[in-house]
Structure 1
Amino acid sequence: MDSSVIFNVVTTGIAVVAVVTSVVLGARQARIAQHANHISVMVDLLQEFRSVDFHEQHDYLCTRLGAEHDPEGGVRGLPAEAKAAFYNVVYYYQSFANLAVFELLDETLMVTVLRTRIVSVWQAVRPFVERERELRGETGGGSYMSIFEELARLAAALPPGHVLDALAQTRRRAARSRLLR
């Protein structure tokens, strides 16, 4: 073989390796940037979660709403205190769901963190939401709170041990990473 052919093959090989490396590193960096966006959004939204008022309203919805009020009037038929709790808590979770729909937030991350609470709130408000849909004339399930309903469905479908499984997987990856160094 001629030395110029060998030189061309070697330089072409180096160029291919450089392009592949650039693509792989670029994709990894994009994934890291996306995760960084998810974290900042989660931190911002979880600030409300630390509020005492939020927790009192959350508890009100989950423990007293159905016992104290008939869903016949829908959401619009609730008295002011109950309606305020409904809007503050349900729309809080709806915000997470909207961000997940537009892929601004990783829904698995969000559902993992808030799984039990999302499911319990949906169970408490479901009769009121369904009646509100009827009062609005929405047929076929309706669109009122449909994104929150879907979020609750995803949360309920997530196995209860998901957080522990994810934690174990992260620890295994970290251990493997330390071994490779």
Structure 2
Amino acid sequence: MDSSVVFNVATTGIAVVAVVTSIVFSARQARIARHANHISVMVDLLQEFRSVEFHEQHDYVCTRLGAEHAPQVGVRGLPAEARAAFYSVVYYYQSFANLAVFGLLDETLMVTVLRTRIVSVWQAVQPFVERERELRGEGGGGNYMSIFEELARLAAELPPEHVRNSMPQNRRRLSRLGQLR
């Protein structure tokens, strides 16, 4: 074999390896950047959990809203304090759902972190939301709070042991990547 052919084959092989390596590192960098965006969004939204007022409203919605008010009034028919608690809590979770719909937040991450809370809030407000849809003339399920309803469905379908089962898998993955000691 001629030395120029060997040289051309070697340089072509090196070029192919360089291109493949660049593609792999670019894909990994894009994935890391996407996860970094998810983390900052989650941190910003989870700051609300530090608010005593939010926890009081959350507890009110989950434990007292249905006991103190009839769903027949819908959401708009609730007294001001109950309506404020409803909007504060439900739209908080709706914000997470909206970000997931537009791909700005990983819905599995979000649902894993907030699973129990999302499900309990939806169970408490569902009769009010369904009645509000009727009052608005929205047939066939309606659009009002439909994104939050879908988020609650996803959260309810996620097995409760998902977080516990995910932790060892994540540790093994990070260990393989040399990021966990």
TM-score range, shorter chain: over 0.9
- RMSD over aligned Cα atoms: 1.3
**1:124-143, Cα deviation, whole Å (9 max, x unpaired):** 00000000000000011000
TM-score by length of 2: 0.97
Identity of aligned residues (%): 83
Give the structure 2 partner of residue 119 of structure 1. Answer: 119
Give the structure 2 partner of residue 23 of structure 1. Answer: 23
Counterpart-to-counterpart distance in 2, 1:177 and 1:99: 29
Give the structure 2 partner of residue 41 of structure 1. Answer: 41
Task: Tell me which amino acid in the other structure corresponds to 1:107.
Answer: E
Counterpart-to-counterpart distance in 1, 2:40 and 2:175: 26
Give the structure 1 partner of residue 164 of structure 2. Answer: 164
TM-score by length of 1: 0.97
Give the structure 2 partner of residue 174 of structure 1. Answer: 174
Gaps of 5+ in 1: none
Counterpart-to-counterpart distance in 2, 1:121 and 1:93: 9
2:67 corresponds to 1:67:
yes
**1:90-140, Cα deviation, whole Å (9 max, x unpaired):** 000000000000000000000000000000000000000000000000011
Note closer, same or farther for the CA distance 1:77–1:150 as it changes in structure 2 (3 Å cut).
same
**1:47-100, Cα deviation, whole Å (9 max, x unpaired):** 111110000000001000111000001001100010000000000000000000
Counterpart-to-counterpart distance in 1, 2:164 and 2:99: 25
Distance apart, 1:170 and its partner CA: 1.2
Counterpart-to-counterpart distance in 2, 1:21 and 1:61: 53
> Which portions of structure 1, spanning 4 or more consecutive aligned residues, are displaced by more than 6 angstroms?
none
Distance apart, 1:178 and its partner CA: 4.5
